[in-house]
Every structure is written in C-alpha cells, then in structure tokens.
Amino acid sequence: MKKIFITIFCILYFCKLSFCDSLGTTGAQFLKVGMGARPLAMAGAFSAVSDDINSIYYNPASLTRSEKREVSATYLKYFEDVNAGFLGYSGIINTKHYIGIGLTYLQANNIDKRDINEAELGEFGSTDIALFINYARKDLMQNLIKNLAVGSGLKLISQKIDDESAFTIALDLSAYYPANDKLSFSINIQNISYGVKFINDTDPLPLDIKIGSAYKVLKDLTFACDLDEYVIDKKLYASIGAEYWIKDIMALRSGYKFGYDTESLGNIVGLGVGAGFRIWGLSLDYAFVPFGDLGDTHRISFGAKY
C-alpha cells in the first residue's frame, strides 16, 4: 500500500509540469503570505508536520490529526504600514470527519496615490480578505491505502484597492499519509481558480503545488521539508525546518526557505526562527522572519484546545 501512495505522490508532482507552458503574473498575492507563527518559524516546512489548526492554511487533510477542538489567532507585523492576521477554528464531527474555518486578512495603508504625470493625489489603502472553509476525511480509501487522509478547502476571496474591488473563489485539494510512526508525506494543490478580475483585467491566482515530508528523528525532534511550485509564476521554493520540544512545554524552531532573490535582498532572506510554549491546552508561538533590505517581520499566535 505504501508503494501505491508513493506512486500517486510522484504522479501529482510531475503532472504539474503540464501547467508550466506559459509564464505570467498572478493576482491575490496575499495568498502567498504564510500565516501561523509555528509554521513560519520553520520557514514554512510544515505541510507534513501540521497537527494543529495551522492545517487550515497548509494542508486541510492534516485536520484529521487533531484530537480536540481548537481556536487560534495570529497577528503579523509586515513591512512599513502593512499588517496581516488570521483567525481560525477547527473541530471534530466524528472519528472520521473534521472541519476547519479560517479568516485571513492583509491590509496596507498610507500608500501614495499619483496620476500618470506623477502628481500627488493623496493616499489610499488596500484590504485583502480570504475565508477558508475546510473539510477532511480519515480512512477514505482504507482498503486501498491504509491511514490515508484527504482534505479539501473552499476559499472566498475579496480584494479592495482604493475604490475598486473584486471577488473570486478558489479550491484546495490535499492528502496526508503517515508511512509509519516517524515518517509522513503530504500533498496540497492550492488556489485552483479561474482567476480574479479587477476592472477589465483578469489575473490567475497563484496556483501552488506543495509537496512535503516530515521525519521524527527523536520523540521530541522533527525535521521537515516542503517543495512549493508556483505553476503560473514559474517560481520554485524549497523549505527545510526543524522543531524541538523541551519537556513537551517549550519548543525551539528554525528553518530556511530557498528560492528568494538573495542578490537583491541578502542571504538572510528565507530564514525563520522562533519559539513556542504550551500548557493547560493553551499555546503561544512567536516567529521572526527577516527579509533583508525590505525589513523584518514578526508573527505571534495564540491558541487554545478544548
């Protein structure tokens, strides 16, 4: 059965090449901004690690790993006057069916407004919002691939720039497979959509084929890697990360994402470091992610399981 899953894993990976004939730019770029302090401290190498509410964002199928209901909030201090955040809830319908609901936003203020002659016209702002509605199912193909979990996510996306607005929907499809107690794999195809239209122009969404794996070296030490192929943008990112728990109370995390323009931003871009604490069902996580000359970003997440 393990061979069957690995075959599917390879097919999905190489099928992405058929989408790569055209190079273009994509809309709704805020969907690329990672949420959750825990995943970003590991540089986003998280799709096969996720066992908490961050599955809503990184791999809906991993919601099946949750043993309790969970709520979480994340705040991100981005560059200049840009802020972002995430609110989420994950729940258990029964032993095989799981749900997740999340809301993410990114807001930019105090942007200079100019006409075609570069004359100043004041300032404007932009607001991006996405509502996630996720469903996951455990043991859907029990007779074919034991322990395989699958998930899907519907995204309702709203964007507003100055006086113009747009709305679209997108779909995520994912799978999670624990090969054994130590090794796991994941696949997530994100942002399947017909695009987003502003005024008369329609741009495709950033279609991402995310493949991940995680390995527990020790009971409290996990190494992970993710590969993100942004099909339309023709951008490939590889992330590696590690998480180490001390007494199951404090976690130390670090990671690095390869693929950024280090010549322009410096070698430090792509780094992620952070820490987390959990006790009595409560969790607090922090991530520091520098972006070279653009500045540093900070994420803080608070969650509760019940």
Q: Look at residue 116 and tell me whether its pLDDT is greater than 90.
A: no
At 262 the pLDDT is 66
Q: Look at residue 283 and tell me whether its pLDDT is greater than 90.
A: yes
Q: How confident is the model at residue 115 (pLDDT cuts 50, 70, 90)?
A: low
**Of the listed ranges 7-21, 37-51, 214-228, the one predicted with least confidence:** 7-21
Higher pLDDT: 261 or 197? It is 197
Task: Encode pLDDT of 199-213 as tens digits.
Answer: 888 889 999 999 999
Domains of the chain in start order, with CATH, are: 2-305 (2.40.160.60)
Higher pLDDT: 95 or 157? It is 157
Mean local confidence (pLDDT), 80-96: 91
Question: CA-CA distances (angstroms) from residue 19 to 5, 58, 149, 189, 191?
Answer: 22, 22, 26, 13, 14
Integer distance in angstroms from the first to the last C-alpha of the chain?
Answer: 35
At 7 the pLDDT is 38
Q: What is the pTM of this model?
A: 0.84
Mean local confidence (pLDDT), 226-255: 95
Mean local confidence (pLDDT), 22-44: 85
Task: Encode pLDDT of 89-103 as tens digits.
Answer: 999 998 899 999 999
Question: CA-CA distances (angstroms) from residue 190 to 56, 67, 107, 177?
Answer: 11, 25, 22, 18
**Of the listed ranges 161-175, 255-269, 289-303, the one predicted with least confidence:** 255-269
Nearest to 289 by CA among 244, 229, 218, 239: 239
Residue 24: exposure state from Cβ atoms within 10 A (0-12, 13-18, ≥19): exposed
Tokens describing residue 50: 């996720």
Nearest to 276 by CA among 62, 37, 35: 37
Question: Which residues, in sequence order, are CB contacts of 33 under 8 Å at separation 6+?
Answer: 76, 78, 84, 106
At 248 the pLDDT is 92
Alpha-carbon Rg of the chain, whole angstroms?
Answer: 19
- Indicate the DSSP class of residue 226: E
Higher pLDDT: 240 or 291? It is 240
- Single-letter amino acid code for the residue at 220: D
At 149 the pLDDT is 94
Please give the Cα distance from 39 to 35 (Å, whole number): 8
